[in-house]
Amino acid sequence: MQIELTSDALTLTGELNHHTVPDAAKEISRLFKEGTISKIDLGELTMIDSAGVAFLDEMHLKLSEYSKEQIFQKVPAKIQAMIDTYSTLELPLVEKPPKMGFFEQVGDSLLNSYNELVKALTLAAEIFYYSGVGLFSRKDQRRGSLLQQAAQLGSEALPIVALLSLIIGFILALQSGVQLKNFGANVFIADLLSITMVREMAPLITAIIVAGRSGSAIASEIATMEVTEEIDALKMMALNPIAYVVVPKFHAITIVMPLLVMFSIIVSILGGAFIAIGMLDIAPHTFFTRAIDIITIKDLIVTFSKSIWFAWVIVIIGSYYGFQVKGGAEGVGKATTAAVVSSIFAVILFDAVFSLLYL
């Protein structure tokens, strides 16, 4: 690309494309400082692309501010055809959608959260309704889906629940054992461990693991079905998506969650027993009788009903974000993350409420 300035005419020779435009632009803005340019000779231009035309458009705008002459001179027919196709001078400008102001944004997000809450509660009500109905009539559910879901949810969570419970029982016994020993109160390790795990830790860690494993799976499964129009397809087959997709999971998790909590309690107390028996010299018989005797029926009822609540919260939040998905495949990822974060948050919040109610 060669650029020459003679009197007030600029001559462009060679190819004007996205490789040569940046340098040409620099050269021409330098020439602008040296003298006036009122027309551009394109007679020697051999090739032009959309970058070149866009650049010529910019030049045209600039020169037509003051130049009275025909701005592009001796344009070869080929080049003129390209300019006709690629010129944007005549294109109507499309307004960028305006950005919202601060107060608008705050108001908007408040309204949105309100609407979302209403939607989530509506969905929760629907899920409860169809799950209730689904107990008596298996219409809209695949045969065998409950067992399959239960097996899947349970087996997904079991190993990690076992491992974490064992370690937590271990740590709890170790930390408190050292303190209790100072007071000669070794035996109370059994009471302490049993109460902490049954009332608090077991339901909470199980719920957090299930939220991470199964809550995310529920959200991403439903979100994928939503973006690939599978949910619409179900509706068109006269199947209720909630009854078909959510209810089996809801029933399954209601059964599996208390079992997982039970399992977590047992494993963690076994983990604590290692420390108690091995390091604190407590007789196995004493340890286990104390650990069992301290637990009341009320404790167990509260724990299991609480874990069922957690399970429901996880399913409802997972399905909510799944059904709410926006955008394509990347929406699925966002929905999944949001579901996990919110359900862990909700589980901890519910746990606090339960603790206050049944102290």
Partner 1 sequence: MKELKPVIEIRNMVAKYGTKTILSDINVDILPQEITVILGGSGSGKTTLLKNMLRLYEPAAGSVKFWGEDILTMDENAFNEVLKKTGMLFQSGALLNSISLYENISIPLEMHTQLSAKVRDRMIRVKLSLVGLSNAMYQFPSELSGGMKKRAALARAMAMDPPLLFCDEPSAGLDPITSASLDELILSLKEQFKMTIVIVTHELASIHRIADKIIFLDSGTMLFYGTLDEAKTAKIPQIDHFFEVGKF
Applying CB under 8 A, the residues found at the interface with partner 1 are: 17-19, 21-22, 25, 49-51, 53-55, 57-58, 78, 81-82, 85-88, 91-92, 94, 96-97, 326-331
The alpha helices in 183-296, defined as continuous H runs, are 188-196, 202-210, 216-227, 230-236, 241, 247-279, 284-293
Query: Nearer Cβ to partner 1, position 87 or 254?
Result: 87
Q: How far is the CB of 358 from partner 1 (least distance, A)?
A: 46
Q: How far is the CB of 268 from partner 1 (least distance, A)?
A: 43
Residue showing tokens 């809801």: 250
Q: How far is the CB of 55 from partner 1 (least distance, A)?
A: 5
- Phi, psi of 16, deg, nearest 5: -115, 95
Query: Nearer Cβ to partner 1, position 54 or 174?
Result: 54
Measured in residues, the chain has a length of: 359
Q: How far is the CB of 220 from partner 1 (least distance, A)?
A: 16
Pairwise CA distance, residues 148 & 334, whole Å: 27
Q: How far is the CB of 175 from partner 1 (least distance, A)?
A: 46
**SS3 letters for 100-162?**
CCHHHHHHHHHHHHHHHHHHHHHHHHHHHHHHHHHHHCCCCCCCCHHHHHHHHHHHHHHHHHH
Query: Nearer Cβ to partner 1, position 69 or 330?
Result: 330
Asked if 86 and 50 touch (Cβ cutoff 8 Å), the reply is: yes
Q: How far is the CB of 235 from partner 1 (least distance, A)?
A: 20
Pairwise CA distance, residues 124 & 305, whole Å: 18
Query: Nearer Cβ to partner 1, position 17 or 254?
Result: 17
Please list, in sequence order, all residues whose beta carbon lies within 8 angstroms of the beta carbon of residue 117, skipping any fewer than 6 positions away: none
Query: Nearer Cβ to partner 1, position 97 or 144?
Result: 97
